[in-house]
Amino acid sequence: MMIRSMIAAFCTVTFAGPALAQDGTMYPMEAPAEAGAIPLNTGGVEGQTASESWFRQWGDPMARNITAATLTPFLADPETATGASVIVAPGGGFMWLSMGNEGWEVAEALQDKGINAFVLKYRLQPTADTLDAFKEEMERRFAEAGNRDEDDDTPAGPPRWDLSNQLEDAEAAYAMILENKDEWGVDPARIGMIGFSAGAGLTMHTTLNSETVDLAFIGPIYGGMGPVDVPEGAPPMFAAIATDDFLFGGEFGLIQSWFDAGIPVEFHLYQNGGHGFGLGNPDRTSNKWFDAFIHWLDVNGFLEASSEE
C-alpha cells in the first residue's frame, strides 16, 4: 500500500501553492511580461511541437512547454547587498514550472535579505498542447504509476528524465552570472543554488555532474532523498523536507551521503508541510525553513563581504 499511497499523495499535493483556500482547478492564463528575463540562448527542445503556455492553479502561475530558457535577476539593494547570490530553480516534475511559489516569491525573499537571486526558467519535457489534454496526460501518468504491483519494492518517484537540456541551462545561467558579476554585485566565491522538488533535482544534478559550475552552497528543498555519490569538493548543503511529503518516505540517504563524505550538511525534517509548500503554507511547521536557511548562510559566513570587496 505504500506505493499507492505515495502516488495518491503526489496527485493531491503536487500543484499545491501557498493559497490553500483558493481553487485547485487549472485555469489558462496569458503569459506574464517577465520583465528583466534574459534569454540564455541554449537551444530548443527536440520533438517539441507545442508552444509555451501558462496556467494558474491555487493562485500560482505555472509555465509549460518551455523551449527557451531564461534567467531573471532580482538584485539586492546596493545599500544592503551582501554579494552572496543564489540561482533559484522552481519545480514541476520537469513538465511545468511553479514560477510564482517556487521562483519569483523566493527570489524576492532572498533579495530582501541582501542576496542577489536569479530565477532560472529552464527547458522542460514536452507536454500536450491544450490544457485539457495536459490534465488528461497527467491523470494517465499517475494512474499508470498507481497500477504498479504491490510487491514491487522499487521506490516510487519522478521519471528518470534525460537532464542534458536542464544542465546546459544551469551552466549557462552560472556563466552569465559570472560574466556580469561586477555589474550585478556578485561575489563569484559565494554563488549558490537552491531548488524545489524537480528544481532540487536539478540542483543536485548540477552539483554532481557539471564540470563548469562551482557552487559555494546548495539548498535542495523537498527533493529526492536517495543516496548519491558525492564528488570531491562538493559544496555544503542545506536540505529541508516534511514527513508528509511523498518524496520523503523515511529516506535519509542523501543526508548520509553528505555526512559520510565529510562535507557540512544541515537537514530540517518538518512534521508537516506536504509537497510544494514554497515559502510556507498556513499553520505548518515547515514555514520556518527560509529563516533557518538564512541563518545557516549567515553562520557559515556566506553573507559576509569578502576581503576583496
* Residue range 143-161: mean pLDDT, rounded: 52
- The Cα–Cα gap between 177 and 190 comes to 11
Instruction: Give pLDDT tens digits for 89-131.
Output: 999 999 999 999 999 999 999 999 999 999 999 999 999 999 9
* Residue range 142-164: mean pLDDT, rounded: 58
H helix intervals, the chain: 2-13, 105-112, 131-146, 164-179, 181-184, 198-209, 253-260, 289-299
Instruction: Give pLDDT tens digits for 223-242.
Output: 999 999 999 999 999 999 99
Average pLDDT, whole number, for the chain? 88
* The Cα angle at residue 228 between residues 224 and 233, in degrees rounded to 5: 115
Least confident of 45-59, 76-90, 133-147, 241-255: 133-147
pLDDT at 10 over 70: no
Asked whether the beta carbons of 207 and 234 are under 8 A apart, the reply is yes
The three cell numbers locating residue 107 = 527570489
Burial of 229 (0-12, 13-18, 19+ CB in 10 A): exposed
| pLDDT value, residue 145 | 53
| pLDDT value, residue 140 | 81
* Residue range 263-270: mean pLDDT, rounded: 97
Q: pLDDT band for 281, please (50, 70, 90 cuts).
A: confident
For residue 98, CA distances in Å to 66, 73, 155, 172, 261 come to 12, 17, 25, 21, 32
- 192 three-state secondary structure: strand
Instruction: Give pLDDT tens digits for 59-91.
Output: 899 999 999 999 999 999 999 999 999 999 999
Q: What's the whole-model pTM score? A: 0.89
User: Which residue, among 301, 236, 244, 249, has the nearest Cα to 277 in the 3D structure?
Assistant: 244
pLDDT at 146 over 90: no
- The Cα–Cα gap between 196 and 202 comes to 9
pLDDT at 202 over 70: yes
Angle at which helices 198-209 and 164-179 cross, to 10°: 70
Q: pLDDT band for 275, please (50, 70, 90 cuts).
A: very high
- 156 three-state secondary structure: coil
pLDDT at 33 over 50: yes
Q: What is the DSSP string of 26-46?
A: -EEEPPP--TT-EE------T
Q: pLDDT band for 193, please (50, 70, 90 cuts).
A: very high
- 204 three-state secondary structure: helix
Instruction: Give pLDDT tens digits for 35-56.
Output: 999 999 999 999 999 999 999 9
| pLDDT value, residue 116 | 98
